[in-house]
Structure 1
Amino acid sequence: MGMYTKKYSGAFILCPVPPGGHPASVTIIADNVPTDFPGDRADSRGITISAELPAEEFRIVACVPPLHRRYDKVSQLIEFVEVQRMLGVDLIVVYNHSVSARVGKVLDSMSHHGVVHVIPWELPFDAYLGGGYTNIHYFGQLAAVNDCLYRYRSRTQYIINVDMDEYIVPSLEGNLWLWVNKQLTLNPAASAFILKSYLLYSYLPDHKDYFPTQEAAKKYQLVTLLKTNRTEETLPFRIRPKYIYDPKRVVSAGIHNIWGHRRNFKSQYIPSDDCTVYHYRNAKVTPNPNGSVTDTYFHSFQYDIVQRIESRWRTIRREMNLTFSDLNH
């Protein structure tokens, strides 16, 4: 059995690789963190995360950075899952470092139905102290990205890495599966497609003009329908790009780019008029970095979005024996 090893900010990631080429587990080992037994860091400060392969096969899997600090945004979670599924994602993989009790119930329900896979993500050291990150960047996000790569590489054709406030939006087809297969016919040597980002401002007022599902959008706090003010131009490729990739063509993945490709494959950079990332930023960018426009892309799918989300809310309330108020406040 070989060993795939990579060092990420503040930690070594060790992936034992069996003869078939797929790691059986991922071990996170703290780097430069004091222990009671110097030189024995792997035993005293390491954690092994089981990487048992899922039985199902998928077309597109979305991997989410570790949810942390008792994540409690129920409305955001449900909207994220259902809109991603509408866009063509089959499965959302959630790394659970710390969530609230009610988010845990929502994840239990969605996991039961095979909509999400929840991966426990307990780190062997404190990841956030005194208002800043210590020992490892952003709760081990890079480790989670690569865990997802190797955990699902033999079970899915494509993977996307996105935050809970990001959506990959294909301009024409409206479906990532159709879009990425078309791209591969045009770029047969591509391992990944790198995408620019638009910023949409969650802190600005809701869309001012009437649209048919407006009341439901307000009830369920749907940012994809309510927050339509975005930057006129995308950010450049060097700032916050995201990507969709073929895990069988990739050796290691970063947050915004592929770090290692298999031989003869490379990343393809996609023009913003073909496919982009919609990033719903709650933090203010002063001033709007490159002007702003009204973008109602998701209004074209408003009935589908609302129907999916209403159905998911009903299922969760029934199975968890909770009221809408319990889940929403």
Structure 2
Amino acid sequence: MSADDLNDNLIYDDKVTALSDDEAGADDLNDNLVYDGNVSGSDNESENESDSDSDDSKDNDKKRKHENDDDEDSDENEDSSNNENELEGDEDNDNSDNDTDEDSEEKKIKQEAEAKEREAKKKAKAKKKRDEMKKKKRMRLEKEQLEKENERKTKSDSEIFWSSIDSNNSVTQIEKDEINDQSFVNSSLTSEQRSLSNLSSFIKQVYPNWKKNLGKPPKESDYKGQPSVLVVTQSAIRAVEVIRSLNEFSKYCKVGKLFSKHMKVKEQVEYLSKSVVKIAVGTPNRLIKLAENESLDMNKLDLLVIDYTFKDSKNRNIFEIPEIRKDLLAFIKQHCINRIKDQTQKIALF
């Protein structure tokens, strides 16, 4: 190969190399341009995507806000609905409670009315029973009173007295002779029924000198503890009733209370020692005690009234209660017999 050919080849190679370098540079430039374009495009796309994402985010935020607003509205509507339902439920409950209260009140009123009706029927039944018992008692007393009145027509007071007080035949004939028909007031002087309402008038009829003898004595010291009229009854309760029935005599004299459960013996002794007692009411046992300690003096007694028509809750008169009958007979025999025998004292069965 010649030198010219060699130079030509070298020049050619240099050109080729230069061309290659230029092409390579151009390719690199193109690649760079392409890369830059891609990068720029990518950036634009990123920006676009970012803007799109931002818009989407905003849209999503708006959507979420709208949804939240819708949810809030829904919640508010639901709360409102619930509140309305609760109010309606409360109203229903209130109405139900009111209905229950009204039913309960009506039931209570009805029960009270029924209870009052039962109580009224019970009282009416009890009253009817009491009235029937009172009627039976009144009829029995009237029957007994009639029997006693008939007995008085067929028997003398002395026979009634001894048949009643000597039920076991313990009294001797001598004692009976001491208390005879002359010892009793004339029952024919009064035809009135023997009841407390007639006791005052009975005493006035069988004791003609009552006004003179029951008035204020000329010398009071001579009459302290010395009654002119003595009513003997079977119990303190009955004695109180007897005293009330003798109230019309209170303007003439004092009526002494000589029975237990009202005053102690000591108090009655003191009372008799200081008081002029023209009428006295007492029970047999207490009269014996007061007579034994001499605070009660029988020396001026004109009338001994025995309350024998009255009967206690067991339907017994003063002669039918053993211990009282015994005390009554003992009191008469020990403290009244002397004046009875000499006819200065009378016995009256009332």
Higher helix fraction (1 or 2): 2
TM-score scaled by structure 2?
0.22
- With the length of structure 1 as denominator, give the TM-score of the two structures: 0.23
Q: Which has the higher contact order (CA 8 A, sep 6+)?
A: 1
